[in-house]
Chains A and B, each alone.
Chain A
Amino acid sequence: MSRPEYQAPPEIYYGDAEAKKYTQNTRNQQIQADMTYRAIELLNLPPDEPAFLLDIGCGSGLSGEILDEEGHIWAGVDIAPSMLEVALERDLDGDLFLQDIGQGFGFRPGSFDGAISISVLQWLLNAETSHPTSSPPHRLTRFFTTLHSALRNPSRAVLQFYPTSDDQIQLITSIAQKAGFGGGVVVDYPNSKKARKVFLCLFVGGGGTQQQMPKGVEGEDDEHARFERRREKEKKRSTSGKRKNIKDRDWILRKKELYRQRGKEGVPRDSKYTGRKRKATF
């Protein structure tokens, strides 16, 4: 099993079964909640003021629930009908839309005080058909330009995603900048393999005062498991294919030397045949 975004388009991958599984998994809930709190922190909204936010790829509303708790009013868009159905059952306060973010938004200019998106952007990086409008750069451009106009000036959009390479980060940030956004990438726990999280922190306008780029959280992860299991599994598998055999000739010679030092009897002598591969006859 590889990364979910490689297996099928989101509306198919998150079918009825996967939508239920995703929402009920306490581990997912924990990760999603942690990232949502961090995203709200990065949004840097004025304190004690209810804001009108857009949740991009709201899914079953795991992050919407937290927005409700924090007293914000929100609208969510997602492309997976099954996820939205689960969201309906969960009785959330936000408005839900079935929408493909790669087709752009229809919101009027200056509608939202901010936007968050948790674990979504990587889904935009695959082309589903050969039609020109489904190429990733085209979809990203459409997404960022319409998002930029839907946000108020000044405001922020914080988008957490799982890039597979630096090229992807480069592509996404360059398109966002072309669409008029300022800001860039914030990496939390950059030195931890497991807890590393990439947030795209985008600014709309600045109004004379430059917006300060927030800093990523340093250090290792704490008691929480801040990563998704399957992503770690996938990584393990991809590296295991290339791994060299540990028990090579050097290792055998070292072990034999050690046994001789310890006075073990019957250690075979070293020769040109030591640790040599058998012919592939068998």
Chain B
Amino acid sequence: MVRLITHNLLACHVKGCTTNNFPLVFQDVQVELQEAEFNPDFIRNMLPRLEWTALVNAAKQVGDTSLPLEQPDMMDDELLQKLHHALMEIHIIEGAMVCQNCRHAYPISNGIPNMLLAEHEIG
């Protein structure tokens, strides 16, 4: 299960791929929604670590357009709820994540992304 929270922290780790290796772009995704317990403190703690534009774009790619384009200064409950839904409840089940720089595709099957590299790609 790839959720957007981990997708937002994931960059390409192929050898020599150091610029423009984040975010990974979703391809042909199948999405599943699973309810998770709402934890506002955790979302607040995570916020400084997240890349807002990458999150909004990723959410769009998986069909969630509820987030505002710019990161608002004030976090009210409604927005935290939306964030919680986008970060924790959307699971990507099938598809792939592609690095924009080196075009390496990390296939996702059965909810588990395959992050293994070939011998020549290991740094």
Residues of A within 8 A of B (CB): 49-50, 52, 73, 75, 77, 79, 81, 84-85, 88, 93, 95-100, 103-108, 110-111, 129, 131, 133, 142, 146, 152
Contact = CB atoms under 8 A, between A and B. Distances in A.
B49 A97 contact: no
Interface in B96-123: 110-117, 119, 122-123
Nearest to A95: B6
User: Which of B2, B10, B51 has the largest count of A CB atoms less than 10 A from its CB?
Assistant: B10
B112 A50 contact: no
A79 B114 CA distance: 9
Given A49-B41, A142-B122, A107 B10 contact: yes
- Tell me what chain A mostly uses at the interface: helix, strand, loop, or mixed: mixed
Contact of B49 (A49, A84, A99, A110): A110
Nearest to B23: A108
B10 A133 contact: no
Contacts of A88: 110-112
A75 B5 CA distance: 10
Interface of B: 1-3, 5-6, 9-13, 21-22, 36, 39, 41-42, 45-46, 49, 51, 88, 110-117, 119, 122-123
A96 to B, nearest CB: 5
A83 to B, nearest CB: 11
B11 A107 contact: yes
B43 to A, nearest CB: 10
Contact of B22 (A100, A108, A152): A108
Contact of B116 (A95, A98, A110): A98
Contacts, number: 81
Given A50-B42, A106-B11, A142-B122, A98 B113 contact: yes
B122 A133 contact: yes
A95 B21 CA distance: 21
A103 B112 CA distance: 18
A106 B1 contact: no
B13 A52 contact: no
A103 B116 contact: yes
Q: Which 4 A-B pairs have the closest CB atoms?
A: A106-B13, A99-B115, A111-B9, A50-B42
A77 B9 CA distance: 14
Contacts of A93: 36
A183 to B, nearest CB: 23
A49 B44 CA distance: 11
A106 B51 CA distance: 15
B56 to A, nearest CB: 17
User: Which of B5, B11, B36, B115 has the largest count of A CB atoms less than 10 A from its CB?
Assistant: B115
Contact of B123 (A107, A131, A142): A142
Contacts of B88: 73
Nearest to A84: B112
Contacts of A107: 9-11
Given A84-B112, A88-B111, A96-B112, 7 more contacts: A73-B39, A81-B112, A100-B116, A103-B122, A104-B122, A106-B10, A108-B49
B10 to A, nearest CB: 6
A72 to B, nearest CB: 9
Contacts of B116: 79, 98-100, 103
Contact of A95 (B2, B13, B39, B42): B2
B45 A49 contact: yes
Contacts of A49: 41, 45
Nearest to B12: A106
A104 B121 CA distance: 11
Given A50-B41, A103-B116, A108 B11 contact: yes
